Amino acid sequence: MNFKFLFVGFLIYLLPLFAANQPIKVKLHDGKEYCYRPVFSGGEGLVYIDYCKNAPPAQYDVFGRVAWRVNAKWLCMSAPATVSGIGERINSHWGRLVLRPCVINDKNQQWIIKDGGFHTFDSRFRVKDDKWYAYISTKKGDKYDHSLSNIEQLQKIDPAVNLSLKTFLAWSFVSYAQFSLYYLQNNQSFQDSLVWFVYNPENGHIAQYNQRNGSQVCLTSKQGKADWGFVAWEDCSDKVLEKDNKYWEFFLLSGSDGAIKDKDGNFLRIAQYGPNWGVPYTSKKGRLEKDVKRSPKSLFLFSADIENWYRFVNANLSYSLSNCPPNKHRSKRTLPPNFSLNDEWKRRLWQIASSSDGSDAHSGRCGICLLQSYQILAELQSHHNSPLESGGYFFDTAPNTNPFQSFRQRNFILSSRLQEIGDSLEVPLVSLEDLRSRTIRAYHSMALVMLPNYEWEFSSFANTRDTIMQSLRGLFNAPVGTLWIANLYLRDAQGGNAGHAQPILRTTEGLLFIPTNTPNVSLQTYRAALERSLARNAEEAFRVVSTEGEIQIFLSMRLVREHQNPFNVLSTYNCTGLGEDRMGSGGLIRSQSINTCDGKRCLIQ
């Protein structure tokens, strides 16, 4: 048996087992048995065919990776990209297998057993040997095929050796004359020269790998208590320790770009001009507003899988995983176009909106009205056939109470992430960045935390009557069943400014602006407010959104579709979460907690 059954509630978890790690044994064409051994020769890490007494044990893990522990780092058997065509252009019909840092988002590291030997994940290439090295070839007749002699042992699924991701760290230079993309490498930036880093989400390390000898150095913050400081690159391992000066966090993600912070909350930056052009350094958050000389920026671009992993982690935290156990069918979380707001749903909306004590409670920039908006959208998407009667997606509904008390108790890490995002709204990631860009990034980042399974589209940042009317007219062009969250900034009769958020639903009759944050309101009164909140044209819509005051800014977030996340095939141990269709462990993800995929290895596509 190659996995362990764990019964929790009504679900059976299929966790990988630590196999009795052995070298990978192969029988060559001459009938003799040898083993795979990782070596460094000729400036490259290779897979050598050696006597088994010289070969270290290997792990064939849940992600289909063949891994060796080399100098406190996990290195994986990888197909040469110049032959497979994955990640590079094909320029050779054969190539030796190479050693690369183990990551979960490189198909060159995914291997299956077929016809007695290792094949690439797509079965296109079988591992062969020639002159004592393992290689692959586009020509099936090339010598020599060899077979695995300990297949029974290899059928056992090892736990994930790590959860590392390969990514680049890039920044864009934009002027009236040019657009250029620069990639970080060591303490320099290079134009159009892609450099891969390895990010380990378990210890926060961002590493560069030296393929000549297998060493790696990690991005290291040297700022300490100073206001700023240049970073360094220092030797490091894969060990998961307490947060140290090599710990980094991707932050304020909005698609494939965002910021990077060290363990003390200092932002990674580069200067776009001057003698230290393109040299990475860190700076305190409070200094960024005034740090304008040399036009510095803290906005970086990453591999799309950084965002995908961030979404997956947030889905696990919010009990909204797609699978538990992996590959279990689950219906799509999408509001049907024929949805009708019946009496049961009106009652449910009232329960959510009346869960307020009228206070200024918030997590970062997320106040009661925005928290209720997230809950309304989540429940419309996931329970459209039959609304909940109690409880709630993010918080338990209860009249005249502060919903953040329940939210923080159930989702402490999500609440902390919202707080961090809100606290950074005033931080310009680009020198002299305007409020519009900061606001859209913050709201997008909050949406990825709260509703990570969806893609979002933002309207223009409207701050005049004409532009607000234009935005409202555009909403009427959306199909029936479309959902938005409207973010409003209003000026009341006393001249004070206040923010407000509420969902919008496109119905057959028009746009329904769903009231939020309505404490001490009866169901009958709320029903009447719903009727008054239906707008059949842009003029009526403008009057609805101006009910609480003179509207200054209008920004809508449209829920477009479900996000196709390659990591959705995964789940973690104890992902029953809140039961029914609320799957997730509610905690951060660890490599040892990844389930098998229906008792098999998980090949991420």
* Of the residues 104, 134, 154, the one at which a domain ends: 154
Same-domain check for residues 489 and 388: yes
Same-domain check for residues 28 and 175: no
Give the CA distances from residue 580 to residues 151, 267, 322, 332, in Å, rounded to whole numbers and listed in that order.
Answer: 38, 40, 12, 14
Rounded Cα–Cα distance for residues 47 and 237 (Å): 21
Please choose, from the candidates 230, 263, 253, 209, the residue with its C-alpha nearest in 3D space to the C-alpha of residue 74.
Answer: 209
Same-domain check for residues 390 and 486: yes
Q: Provide the pLDDT for residue 10.
A: 42
Same-domain check for residues 382 and 278: no
Q: Provide the pLDDT for residue 6.
A: 47
Same-domain check for residues 362 and 282: no
Q: Provide the pLDDT for residue 497.
A: 84
Rounded Cα–Cα distance for residues 513 and 503 (Å): 6
* Of the residues 154, 185, 203, the one at which a domain ends: 154
Task: Specify the higher pLDDT residue, 31 or 363.
Answer: 31
DSSP type of residue 576? T
Instruction: Write the pLDDT tens digit of every residue in 334-382.
Output: 788 888 889 999 999 999 999 999 888 888 778 999 999 999 999 999 8
Q: Provide the pLDDT for residue 16.
A: 64
Same-domain check for residues 374 and 485: yes
Which residues share a beta bridge with 594?
Answer: 572
Please choose, from the candidates 243, 309, 251, the residue with its C-alpha nearest in 3D space to the C-alpha of residue 104.
Answer: 309
For residue 445, name the pLDDT band (cuts at 50, 70, 90).
very high
Tokens of 524: 């009958």
Same-domain check for residues 401 and 433: yes
Same-domain check for residues 149 and 178: no
pLDDT at 168 over 90: yes
For residue 128, name the pLDDT band (cuts at 50, 70, 90).
very high
Question: Is residue 578, in this structure, part of any structural domain at all?
Answer: no
pLDDT at 533 over 50: yes
Question: Is residue 337, in this structure, part of any structural domain at all?
Answer: no
Same-domain check for residues 275 and 235: yes
Mean pLDDT of 171-198: 89
Tokens of 168: 């680049």
pLDDT at 4 over 80: no
- Work out whether the CA dihedral 572, 413, 321, 394 comes out positive or negative: positive
Specify the CATH number for the domain of residue 227: 2.80.10
Question: Is residue 523, in this structure, part of any structural domain at all?
Answer: yes
Question: Is residue 260, in this structure, part of any structural domain at all?
Answer: yes
Q: What is the tally of structural domains in the chain?
A: 3
Same-domain check for residues 350 and 226: no
CB atoms within 10 A of CB 36: 26
Rounded Cα–Cα distance for residues 302 and 257 (Å): 6
Specify the CATH number for the domain of residue 122: 2.80.10.50
Give the CA distances from residue 518 to residues 401, 402, 500, 504, 530, in Å, rounded to whole numbers and listed in that order.
Answer: 11, 12, 12, 16, 12
Same-domain check for residues 135 and 203: no
Q: Which residue has the tokens 């200067």?
A: 271
Domain extent at residue 402? 343-562
Angle between helices 304-317 and 435-450 (to 10 degrees): 50
Rounded Cα–Cα distance for residues 324 and 330 (Å): 9
Share of the chain above pLDDT 70, in %: 95
pLDDT at 300 over 60: yes
Question: Is residue 307, in this structure, part of any structural domain at all?
Answer: no
Instruction: Write the pLDDT tens digit of every residue in 373-413.
Output: 999 999 999 888 889 999 999 999 999 999 999 999 999 99
* Of the residues 106, 128, 154, the one at which a domain ends: 154
For residue 484, name the pLDDT band (cuts at 50, 70, 90).
very high
Rounded Cα–Cα distance for residues 179 and 194 (Å): 16
**Which residues does 31 contact at the CB level (< 8 Å), separation at least 6?**
none
pLDDT at 266 over 90: yes
Specify the CATH number for the domain of residue 492: 3.90.70
Residue by residue, DSSP assigns 292-348 as -TT-EE--EE--HHHHHHHHHHHHHHTT--S-SSTT---------TT----HHHHHH
Q: Provide the pLDDT for residue 17.
A: 59
Q: Provide the pLDDT for residue 76.
A: 98
For residue 8, name the pLDDT band (cuts at 50, 70, 90).
very low
Question: Is residue 8, in this structure, part of any structural domain at all?
Answer: no
Tokens of 319: 């009990």
Same-domain check for residues 388 and 502: yes
Tokens of 131: 């002159």
Could you tell me where the DSSP H helices lie in 64-132? 81-84
Question: Is residue 392, in this structure, part of any structural domain at all?
Answer: yes
Rounded Cα–Cα distance for residues 165 and 198 (Å): 6
Mean pLDDT across the chain: 91
For residue 331, name the pLDDT band (cuts at 50, 70, 90).
very low
Q: Provide the pLDDT for residue 572.
A: 87
Question: Is residue 570, in this structure, part of any structural domain at all?
Answer: no
Q: Nearest 5 degrees, angle CA 62-CA 212-CA 94?
A: 65
Residue by residue, DSSP assigns 242-270 as S--TT-EEEEEEETTEEEEEETTSPEEEE
Mean pLDDT of 148-165: 92
For residue 5, name the pLDDT band (cuts at 50, 70, 90).
very low
Tokens of 392: 């709630």
